[in-house]
Amino acid sequence: MKKSNLLYLLIRVICLLPLLSIHSCKKDVLDSRELLVYMTGEYGSINNTVTVPFVHTPVAVTGNAIVKIPAYATRQVPADIDVTIISDTSLVSQYNKQNLTNYLTIPADAYKLVNPGKHTIKAGSMVSDTLQVQITNAAELTDPKGYLLPLSIQSLDSRDQGAQISTTRRTVFLNVTYAFTNITDSITLMTGTTVARTSWVVTVSNSNNGNPAGSMTDGNNSTAWRSSNSSTAVKSVTVDLGSVQTFKALVLTPNYVNVNENITQMTVSISQDNVTWIGQGIWTGTIPASSSSAATPDKKGVNFIIPVQARYFRLDITGSNGQNRVGIGELNVLQ
């Protein structure tokens, strides 16, 4: 009796093998739970973010107003998958908590989903058509902390019942950043009247022996203020003009004491009281032309988009042409 039962079971298993094989193939193709649909940030992002930078000037706002976001599959899909993507600003606080950030929730009137609804990953493909997000009011987004717009996969619709939404990359975060500049890209000298320096008081963060701050206002291109040679010491110059002035540019004469110690990047700020400072942007310059000299200096312009009114200005130096020490030969202001 036992042998008969065992024989019967063996026959049943053999008969079922073709059906099991068919079912197994179907599971690998259409019902596989390894098929994940997800969103991804820009290359190198560890928090699944896409940075959307906007630069504000006194006269315009520039940046990429349209951002295109697709959904992806971990492999080619055997059947169309319709992906519904929605904005979900409720996730901003969670993001900030997890990443120790303090981004603001983007205002509802500052963006719109141009083509909301379903976005399809076509059979045989791994990427959907793109959701287009338009930043409609970038001029409103002026907080330096920046803004966050989470976009999440809400649902999938497909014959492939095994397609699943990724649990770790369900959401991509658009990070809309704010930066202000009143400094032009051009470093060509502007025309104007040079402001008298008789009442100036120049303060520097540090100096090299024999190359004091006063060298920037002594009228001699062969001398220069030269900073400390420390790689970690702050390098900055603060000028008290003596009274409130309106001016449109600064003029830098290079450091010809050592042409390898010249500024290539700095942040420019202005103040009325030497307490509250207003950033004007980041200036990026070039090293002196090799054909230039103290007798024929290659002067650089720090040109403002619109003139500024201030008693003080400060230069926080962040880049040079390869040396720890930096210097300025002469410093002037144009009205």
Phi, then psi, of 245 in degrees rounded to 5: -125, 150
Per-residue pLDDT tens over the stretch 200-211: 999 999 999 999
- Residues 153, 207: one domain? no
- Residues 217, 292: one domain? yes
Per-residue pLDDT tens over the stretch 132-174: 999 999 999 999 999 999 999 999 999 988 899 999 999 999 9
Q: What is the mean pLDDT of the chain?
A: 91
Instruction: Tell me if 317 is assigned to some domain.
Output: yes
pTM strictly above 0.75: yes
User: Residue 244 above 70 pLDDT?
Assistant: yes
- Residues 128, 237: one domain? no
- Of 233, 247, 218, residue with least CA distance to 328: 218
CA dist., res. 136 & res. 147, Å (int): 14
- Residues 165, 114: one domain? yes
Per-residue pLDDT tens over the stretch 22-66: 333 444 334 445 899 999 999 988 899 999 999 999 999 999 999
Local confidence band at 327 (pLDDT 50, 70, 90 cut-offs)? very high
Last residue of a domain, one of 180, 215, 239: 180
Q: Which domain holds residue 155?
A: 34-180
Domain CATH for 111: 2.60.40.1510
What value does the CA radius of gyration of the chain take, rounded to a whole number of Å?
31
- Residues 172, 216: one domain? no
Phi, then psi, of 126 in degrees rounded to 5: -125, 5
For 56, 102, 110, 249, the CA distances from 140, given in Å and listed in that order, are: 10, 18, 7, 28
Total count of domains within the chain = 2
Q: Tokens standing for 233?
A: 């010491």
- Residues 151, 206: one domain? no
User: Residue 187 above 90 pLDDT?
Assistant: yes
User: Residue 175 above 60 pLDDT?
Assistant: yes
Higher pLDDT, 255 or 162: 255
CA dist., res. 163 & res. 25, Å (int): 16
CA dist., res. 33 & res. 119, Å (int): 21
In Å, how far from its chain's centre is CA 135? 16
CA dist., res. 210 & res. 226, Å (int): 9
